[in-house]
Amino acid sequence: MNKTAKCLVIAPATVLVCFFAMALVNLFIGGYGILGLLAGVAAAYFTARSLWQGLSGEVIDMRSAMTAGALLLGSLGFAGGFFGPMLLVPEANQGPLLGIFITGPLGFVAGAVAGWAYAWRSKVRRKPAAPVA
């Protein structure tokens, strides 16, 4: 995959992960502070680095694959559950809670499992063949 295509794939993912991490940290500490921004930038950097390695065909370790998958799918689940109810049923006042308590955590767990499966599969696929005697 060439660099332009990788950037087009990674850019929206990192923005989404940055928003997710900022929102999550700011939700628990209250208000919007520098801590949320730092957490968002750190999560986005880690996800971008892991996705770049994965899309380049490099060997990616299990922890990086699981963390990147968890952050990416958790962010997608959070965004879908947070903004979806606001767009579909604007008069529902508890719509964003779906993303915070259900789809975000479920996406996080599903992403970790998907990252583990990806790393395990690539590790098995790249395992050198045993020498034939």
pTM over 0.85? The answer is no
Mind listing the pLDDT tens digit for each residue in 9-39? 899 989 988 988 888 888 888 777 888 889 9
Low-confidence ranges of the chain (pLDDT < 50): none
Q: Are 32 and 81 in contact (CB under 8 A)?
A: no
pLDDT of residue 126: 64
Q: What angle do CA 54, 68, 2 make, to 5 degrees?
A: 30
**Two tokens at 58?**
């490099």
Domain ranges for the chain: 3-124
CA–CA separation, 107 and 51 (whole Å)? 17
- At position 129, the amino acid (one-letter code) is A
Q: Are 44 and 23 in contact (CB under 8 A)?
A: no
pLDDT of residue 127: 60
